[in-house]
Amino acid sequence: MGSQPDTAIAIRPYLPEDAEATLRIFERAVSISALSRYTRGQVSAWLGGPRDLATWAADRARVATFVAERGGELAGFIDLAGDGYVDRLFVDPDHGRRGVGRALLQHVEAEARRLKIPILTTHASLVARPVFQASGFTVVYPETVHKDGERLDRFFMRRSL
Ligand SMILES: CC(C)(COP(=O)(O)OP(=O)(O)OC[C@H]1O[C@@H](n2cnc3c(N)ncnc32)[C@H](O)[C@@H]1OP(=O)(O)O)[C@@H](O)C(=O)NCCC(=O)NCCS
Protein backbone atom coordinates (compact mmCIF):
# COMPACT_ATOMS: atom_id res chain seq x y z
CA MET A 1 0.00 0.00 0.00
CA GLY A 2 2.81 2.46 0.79
CA SER A 3 2.43 5.54 2.94
CA GLN A 4 -0.35 8.05 2.31
CA PRO A 5 0.77 11.44 0.98
CA ASP A 6 0.49 13.96 3.83
CA THR A 7 -2.13 16.70 3.68
CA ALA A 8 -0.82 19.82 1.94
CA ILE A 9 0.11 22.85 4.04
CA ALA A 10 -0.66 26.36 2.78
CA ILE A 11 0.75 29.51 4.38
CA ARG A 12 -1.01 32.87 4.08
CA PRO A 13 -0.97 36.23 5.89
CA TYR A 14 -3.07 36.49 9.05
CA LEU A 15 -6.49 38.14 8.68
CA PRO A 16 -8.42 39.87 11.49
CA GLU A 17 -10.98 37.05 11.45
CA ASP A 18 -8.19 34.58 12.42
CA ALA A 19 -7.91 36.10 15.92
CA GLU A 20 -10.09 33.58 17.73
CA ALA A 21 -8.63 30.52 15.97
CA THR A 22 -5.02 31.59 16.57
CA LEU A 23 -5.71 32.31 20.24
CA ARG A 24 -7.25 28.85 20.57
CA ILE A 25 -4.19 27.28 18.88
CA PHE A 26 -1.91 29.15 21.30
CA GLU A 27 -3.88 27.89 24.31
CA ARG A 28 -4.08 24.30 23.03
CA ALA A 29 -0.41 24.18 21.98
CA VAL A 30 0.77 25.37 25.39
CA SER A 31 -1.68 23.36 27.48
CA ILE A 32 -1.33 20.10 25.49
CA SER A 33 1.92 19.99 23.42
CA ALA A 34 4.13 21.82 25.92
CA LEU A 35 3.19 19.28 28.61
CA SER A 36 5.74 16.95 27.03
CA ARG A 37 8.54 19.06 28.53
CA TYR A 38 6.92 21.28 31.22
CA THR A 39 4.88 20.51 34.33
CA ARG A 40 1.22 21.52 34.71
CA GLY A 41 2.30 24.33 37.01
CA GLN A 42 4.78 25.65 34.46
CA VAL A 43 2.20 25.42 31.67
CA SER A 44 -0.36 27.37 33.76
CA ALA A 45 2.23 30.07 34.45
CA TRP A 46 3.07 30.26 30.73
CA LEU A 47 -0.62 30.57 29.78
CA GLY A 48 -1.14 33.18 32.48
CA GLY A 49 -4.96 32.93 32.65
CA PRO A 50 -7.60 33.64 30.00
CA ARG A 51 -6.53 36.09 27.29
CA ASP A 52 -8.64 38.93 26.10
CA LEU A 53 -9.44 38.50 22.39
CA ALA A 54 -9.18 42.22 21.60
CA THR A 55 -5.70 42.42 23.17
CA TRP A 56 -4.66 39.30 21.28
CA ALA A 57 -5.89 40.77 17.99
CA ALA A 58 -4.08 44.07 18.69
CA ASP A 59 -0.84 42.15 19.36
CA ARG A 60 -1.13 40.42 15.98
CA ALA A 61 -1.45 43.81 14.28
CA ARG A 62 1.93 44.92 15.72
CA VAL A 63 3.87 42.14 13.97
CA ALA A 64 3.64 40.21 10.71
CA THR A 65 1.66 37.07 11.48
CA PHE A 66 1.33 34.19 9.05
CA VAL A 67 -1.03 31.27 9.44
CA ALA A 68 -0.80 27.71 8.18
CA GLU A 69 -3.82 25.86 6.84
CA ARG A 70 -3.83 22.08 6.69
CA GLY A 71 -6.78 19.92 5.67
CA GLY A 72 -9.05 22.96 5.57
CA GLU A 73 -8.27 23.95 9.17
CA LEU A 74 -6.09 26.62 10.72
CA ALA A 75 -3.19 24.50 11.99
CA GLY A 76 -0.64 27.00 13.27
CA PHE A 77 0.77 30.50 13.15
CA ILE A 78 4.02 32.44 13.44
CA ASP A 79 4.84 36.06 14.30
CA LEU A 80 7.76 37.94 12.71
CA ALA A 81 8.75 41.34 14.13
CA GLY A 82 10.47 43.93 11.96
CA ASP A 83 13.84 43.30 13.63
CA GLY A 84 13.78 39.59 12.75
CA TYR A 85 12.51 38.38 16.13
CA VAL A 86 10.25 35.33 15.82
CA ASP A 87 7.98 36.00 18.75
CA ARG A 88 5.45 33.19 18.51
CA LEU A 89 5.34 29.83 16.76
CA PHE A 90 2.45 27.59 17.72
CA VAL A 91 0.93 24.54 16.05
CA ASP A 92 -2.30 22.91 17.12
CA PRO A 93 -1.66 19.49 18.71
CA ASP A 94 -4.05 17.87 16.19
CA HIS A 95 -1.62 18.93 13.43
CA GLY A 96 1.60 18.36 15.36
CA ARG A 97 4.67 16.69 13.86
CA ARG A 98 3.34 17.04 10.31
CA GLY A 99 5.77 19.71 9.14
CA VAL A 100 3.53 22.73 9.92
CA GLY A 101 6.14 24.38 12.19
CA ARG A 102 8.85 23.77 9.62
CA ALA A 103 6.68 25.25 6.81
CA LEU A 104 5.94 28.37 8.91
CA LEU A 105 9.65 28.86 9.65
CA GLN A 106 10.52 28.42 5.96
CA HIS A 107 7.95 31.04 5.06
CA VAL A 108 9.29 33.52 7.61
CA GLU A 109 12.82 32.91 6.37
CA ALA A 110 11.76 33.76 2.80
CA GLU A 111 9.87 36.82 4.06
CA ALA A 112 12.91 38.01 6.05
CA ARG A 113 15.15 37.63 2.99
CA ARG A 114 12.64 39.63 0.96
CA LEU A 115 12.70 42.39 3.60
CA LYS A 116 16.52 42.22 3.82
CA ILE A 117 16.41 41.25 7.49
CA PRO A 118 19.87 39.69 8.06
CA ILE A 119 19.31 37.70 11.25
CA LEU A 120 16.37 35.82 12.76
CA THR A 121 16.25 35.40 16.54
CA THR A 122 13.85 33.77 18.97
CA HIS A 123 13.34 32.56 22.51
CA ALA A 124 12.58 28.88 21.98
CA SER A 125 10.86 26.66 24.51
CA LEU A 126 12.23 23.21 25.34
CA VAL A 127 9.61 21.85 22.93
CA ALA A 128 10.43 24.23 20.10
CA ARG A 129 14.22 24.05 20.27
CA PRO A 130 14.54 20.97 17.98
CA VAL A 131 12.14 22.55 15.49
CA PHE A 132 14.18 25.75 15.27
CA GLN A 133 17.37 23.68 15.14
CA ALA A 134 15.98 21.65 12.24
CA SER A 135 15.46 25.00 10.44
CA GLY A 136 19.05 26.15 10.91
CA PHE A 137 18.84 28.10 14.19
CA THR A 138 21.58 27.61 16.79
CA VAL A 139 21.47 28.19 20.54
CA VAL A 140 23.20 31.41 21.66
CA TYR A 141 22.53 30.81 25.37
CA PRO A 142 20.06 28.99 27.62
CA GLU A 143 18.09 31.05 30.10
CA THR A 144 15.46 30.67 32.80
CA VAL A 145 12.53 33.03 33.19
CA HIS A 146 10.40 33.22 36.32
CA LYS A 147 6.64 33.58 36.04
CA ASP A 148 4.02 33.17 38.78
CA GLY A 149 6.53 31.36 41.00
CA GLU A 150 7.52 28.88 38.26
CA ARG A 151 10.88 28.50 36.50
CA LEU A 152 10.65 28.21 32.72
CA ASP A 153 13.76 27.11 30.84
CA ARG A 154 14.17 28.32 27.29
CA PHE A 155 16.89 29.13 24.74
CA PHE A 156 17.86 32.30 22.94
CA MET A 157 18.52 31.18 19.36
CA ARG A 158 19.55 32.84 16.13
CA ARG A 159 19.95 32.17 12.47
CA SER A 160 21.96 34.28 10.00
CA LEU A 161 20.35 34.57 6.58
C1 LIG B 1 7.04 23.59 18.67
C2 LIG B 1 5.91 23.42 17.66
C3 LIG B 1 5.54 24.77 17.06
C4 LIG B 1 6.40 22.46 16.54
O5 LIG B 1 5.45 22.38 15.51
P6 LIG B 1 5.31 21.08 14.58
O7 LIG B 1 4.46 21.46 13.43
O8 LIG B 1 4.85 19.92 15.40
O9 LIG B 1 6.82 20.82 14.10
P10 LIG B 1 7.26 20.11 12.72
O11 LIG B 1 6.40 18.92 12.46
O12 LIG B 1 7.33 21.11 11.63
O13 LIG B 1 8.74 19.63 13.08
C14 LIG B 1 9.84 19.99 12.25
C15 LIG B 1 11.07 19.25 12.68
O16 LIG B 1 11.47 19.64 14.00
C17 LIG B 1 11.98 18.51 14.70
N18 LIG B 1 11.08 18.17 15.83
C19 LIG B 1 9.79 18.52 15.99
N20 LIG B 1 9.31 18.06 17.16
C21 LIG B 1 10.31 17.38 17.74
C22 LIG B 1 10.46 16.66 18.95
N23 LIG B 1 9.46 16.55 19.84
N24 LIG B 1 11.65 16.07 19.22
C25 LIG B 1 12.67 16.16 18.35
N26 LIG B 1 12.60 16.83 17.17
C27 LIG B 1 11.45 17.43 16.88
C28 LIG B 1 12.04 17.38 13.71
O29 LIG B 1 13.28 17.44 13.02
C30 LIG B 1 10.89 17.74 12.79
O31 LIG B 1 10.99 17.15 11.52
P32 LIG B 1 10.52 15.61 11.31
O33 LIG B 1 9.16 15.46 11.94
O34 LIG B 1 10.51 15.47 9.82
O35 LIG B 1 11.55 14.76 12.00
C36 LIG B 1 4.65 22.80 18.33
O37 LIG B 1 5.01 21.55 18.89
C38 LIG B 1 4.08 23.65 19.44
O39 LIG B 1 3.26 24.52 19.20
N40 LIG B 1 4.52 23.37 20.70
C41 LIG B 1 4.00 23.95 21.93
C42 LIG B 1 4.23 25.41 22.05
C43 LIG B 1 5.65 25.87 21.87
O44 LIG B 1 6.56 25.40 22.54
N45 LIG B 1 5.79 26.82 20.97
C46 LIG B 1 7.04 27.47 20.73
C47 LIG B 1 7.20 28.68 21.62
S48 LIG B 1 8.85 29.26 21.45
> Which whole number is the average pLDDT over 102-121?
97
Span 35-60, pLDDT tens digits: 999 999 999 999 998 899 999 999 99
Q: Would you say residue 117 has pLDDT above 60? A: yes
Phi, psi of 98 (to 5 degrees): -120, 15
Q: Would you say residue 146 has pLDDT above 90? A: yes
Q: Give residue 94 CA to ligand 1 midpoint distance, Å.
A: 13
Per-residue pLDDT band at 5 (split at 50, 70, 90): low
Rounded (10°) angle between helices 19-31 and 40-47: 160
> Which whole number is the average pLDDT over 133-139?
97
Q: Which of 85, 88, 125 is nearest to 104 (CA)?
A: 88
Q: Would you say residue 2 has pLDDT above 50? A: no
Taking the CA of residue 126 as reference, the ligand 1 atom at the shortest distance is 44
pLDDT at 50: 85
pLDDT at 1: 39
H-only helix segments in 37-93: 40-47, 53-62
Q: Is the pTM of this model over 0.85?
A: yes
- Going by alpha carbons, the residue nearest to atom 36 of ligand 1 is 91
Residue to probe by mutation, ligand 1, list 31, 85, 97, 120, most atoms within 8 Å of CB: 97
- Going by alpha carbons, the residue nearest to atom 15 of ligand 1 is 131
Averaged pLDDT score across all residues of the chain: 94
> Which whole number is the average pLDDT over 57-83?
95
Provide DSSP, 101-156: HHHHHHHHHHHHHHTT--EEEEEEETTTHHHHHHTT-EEEEEEEEEETTEEEEEEE
Q: Which residues line ligand 1 (CB under 6 A)?
A: 29-30, 33-34, 89-91, 96-102, 124-125, 127-128, 130-131, 134
